[in-house]
Amino acid sequence: MKAYSSELIRRLESIVKPDYVIYDRAGMGVYELDASDESIAGVHTPDVVVLPETAEQIAAIVRVANDLSVPVIVRGAGTGLAGGTITTRGGILLVTARMNHILEVNETDRYAVVEPGVINLDLTAALLGRGYYYAPDPASQKTCTIGGNIANNSGGPHCLKYGVTGNHILGLEVVLADGEMAWFGGASSEMPGFDLTGVMVGGEGTLGIVTRAMVRISRRPEASGVLLAAFPSIDSASRAVSATIAAGIIPASMELMDHLTITAIEVSAQAGYPKDAAAVLLIELDGLIQTVAEHKQIVAEICDEYGATEVRVAQSKAEEDALWLGRKSAFGAMGRLAPNYHLTDTVVPRTKLPLALERVAEVAVEYNLKIANVFHAGDGNLHPLILFDRNEPGAMERVLEASEVLMQYCIDLGGAVSGEHGIGIEKQEALPLMFTDLDLEAMAKLKRSFDPENQLNPGKVFPTSFDPYQRLDSPEKVALHVD
């Protein structure tokens, strides 16, 4: 136990009931990992886990952490794939699971106010009866929290038409690094001053702790429909994606799964996908009854034109749910194909998808790896899942090299190192692939101004070779960089 620990525990237990302050090794075991790749993030035990119930408790915890110079790392549901919740430097792991209340629903002004630990799908479930829903829907929505979604600016299948989390956050209550509380944004369409809500969205818990969120709620569309189209090649499927959007139709979602993924899904979830297809597109359309009917027809024709061997239109809600179940169980199904997988979340402009997927196939051959593809095709957001066995000597190195080659290629196509999962630990070393030291320094200035003592989720996002607290402001450094 570290020297500060007994005082830390005593002070935390004076803020939160002792039942919610966990510091025995067995109790903390479940918080050592999140959904990220353990081979990269490693296993790290926090000094203490605390489950507060209110924003005021969080503020008090942060003030204690300041007094004792202890890092504070926030955790929602731990479904993050970038290692954002891993306590690499120890510290207080602050879990928001008990802050799971929907505080207000305002249908007239179309917003809800929620605590950060509300599960994404629970919010939609609470709104459906009133004719509303919460649009951003990560495939992990049965488990992940609104706080985690905000911190990672998460996407999801329906973000093609409706935008990612950031497009649905109106205001935030935040506990800052000094333990003070602030409110940014609000229900009005225009807010004066700097857009600090925007700064917090995607902040990965490094700039402030979200304790309350005002989120946009959306009216349920009058109708929706789901189609499954099977293709003889991944290339023809991805060309059908661009053609659909070029035809002026923005489906609610367009998800692409390749043959390997279909095989894994059919073994584990039996969603009824055609087992011999090289790729399937799962397409959801929504809107007015007549528009959905017309668009179904047009999209089916486009799929035919691009060589679809089958286009199936779900005839009931049960059939739609079965098709979606396949997609939503895809990551979990990978266990049927290999003991481990490494997910490279990257993004390219949609029209570059065929090129990017071609490169994925080449890299699989070059590195002698199996790579499955399941992704938000409409957004150009790729998720090559590189399958491997961690126990095979050299496998991890090969996987990481292949992943970096793919990221670099996507950047060269005008894309980015992450499409939606955030940077955390997993992508921190990849940031220099797309940002210069001067770009990183601009981000470091923001980090230093919100968190001058580096207490909030330290060691994340910035590459390990770039210390955000060592100022890059001397003329020689700038000149060197420019050279």
Ligand X SMILES: Cc1cc2nc3c(=O)[nH]c(=O)nc-3n(C[C@H](O)[C@H](O)[C@H](O)COP(=O)(O)OP(=O)(O)OC[C@H]3O[C@@H](n4cnc5c(N)ncnc54)[C@H](O)[C@@H]3O)c2cc1C
Residue number, 151 or 413, with CB nearest to ligand X: 151
- Our CB check for ligand X shows the closer of 267 and 480 to be 267
Establish if 152 lies at the interface with ligand X (CB under 6 A): yes
Among 239, 421, 427, 447, binds ligand X (CB under 6 A): 421
φ, ψ (nearest 5 deg) of residue 386: -85, 120
Verify binding: residue 96, ligand X, rule CB under 6 A.
Answer: yes
Say which residues have a Cβ less than 8 Å from residue 264's Cβ, sequence separation at least 6.
330, 333, 334, 336, 337, 372
Q: How far is the CB of 298 from ligand X (least distance, A)?
A: 26
Q: Is 241 in the site for ligand X (CB under 6 A)?
A: no
Q: Does 116 bind ligand X (CB under 6 A)?
A: yes
Instruction: Give the integer Cα–Cα distance in Å for 158 and 255.
Output: 10
Q: What are phi and psi of 92, to 5 degrees?
A: -90, 120
Q: Which stretch binds ligand X (CB under 6 A): 142-150, 180-188, 250-258, 261-269?
A: 142-150
Nearest residue to ligand X, using CB?
A: 148
Euclidean distance between CA atoms 148 and 408, whole angstroms: 27
Nearest residue (CB) to ligand X, 78 versus 251:
78
Among 9, 22, 59, 77, binds ligand X (CB under 6 A): 77
Q: Applying CB under 6 A, which of residues 151, 257, 387, 396 lies at the interface with ligand X?
A: 151
Identity of the residue, 96 or 428, whose beta carbon is nearer to ligand X in the bound complex: 96
> Nearer to ligand X by C-beta: 236 or 344?
344
Residue 418 touches ligand X, criterion: CB under 6 A: no
CB of 375 to ligand X, least distance (A): 9
Q: Does the footprint of ligand X cover residue 32 (CB under 6 A)?
A: no
Selected binder of ligand X within 31, 37, 48, 79 (CB under 6 A)? 79
Q: Indicate left, alpha or beta for 170 from its phi (over 0: left) and psi (-120 to 50: alpha).
A: alpha
The piece of 134-142, 258-266, 348-356, 475-483 that touches ligand X (CB under 6 A) is 134-142
Q: Which of residues 340-399 bind ligand X (CB under 6 A)?
A: none
Residue 91, interface with ligand X (CB under 6 A)? no
Asked whether position 41 contacts ligand X by CB under 6 A, the answer is no
- The least CB distance from residue 362 to ligand X, in Å, is 26
457 makes contact with ligand X (CB under 6 A):
yes
Write the binding mask 275 to 314 for ligand X: x where contact by CB under 6 A, - elsewhere: ----------------------------------------
Q: Is 49 in the site for ligand X (CB under 6 A)?
A: no
331 binds ligand X (CB under 6 A): yes
User: If we measure between CA atoms, which residue out of 155, 47, 35, 94 comes closest to residue 426?
Assistant: 35
Beta-sheet pairing, 72-75 with 310-313: unpaired
Stretch that binds ligand X, among 5-13, 72-80, 239-247, 303-311 (CB under 6 A): 72-80
Sole window of 43-51, 74-82, 255-263, 318-326 interacting with ligand X (rule: CB under 6 A): 74-82
CA angle 154/160/165 to nearest 5° reads: 25
Residues 6+ apart with CB under 8 A from 32: 43, 44, 45, 46, 86, 87
**122 scored as a contact of ligand X (CB under 6 A):** no
Sole window of 202-210, 237-245, 259-267, 292-300 interacting with ligand X (rule: CB under 6 A): 202-210
The type of residue at 233 is S
* Residue 74 in the binding site for ligand X (CB under 6 A): yes
Q: How far is the CB of 22 from ligand X (least distance, A)?
A: 16
Looking at beta carbons only, is 81 or 308 nearer to ligand X?
81
Per CB under 6 A, does 209 bind ligand X? yes
Q: Would you count residue 428 as binding ligand X (CB under 6 A)?
A: no
In the complex, least distance from residue 59 CB atom to ligand X, rounded to whole angstroms: 13
Q: Would you count residue 173 as binding ligand X (CB under 6 A)?
A: no
How, if at all, do strands 381-382 and 102-106 pair?
A: unpaired
Residue from 284, 286, 420, 426 in contact with ligand X (CB under 6 A): 420
Is residue 334 close enough to count as binding ligand X by CB under 6 A? no
Interface residues toward ligand X, by CB under 6 A: 34-35, 73-81, 84-85, 96, 116, 138-140, 144-145, 147-149, 151-152, 154-156, 204-205, 209-210, 331, 420-421, 424, 457
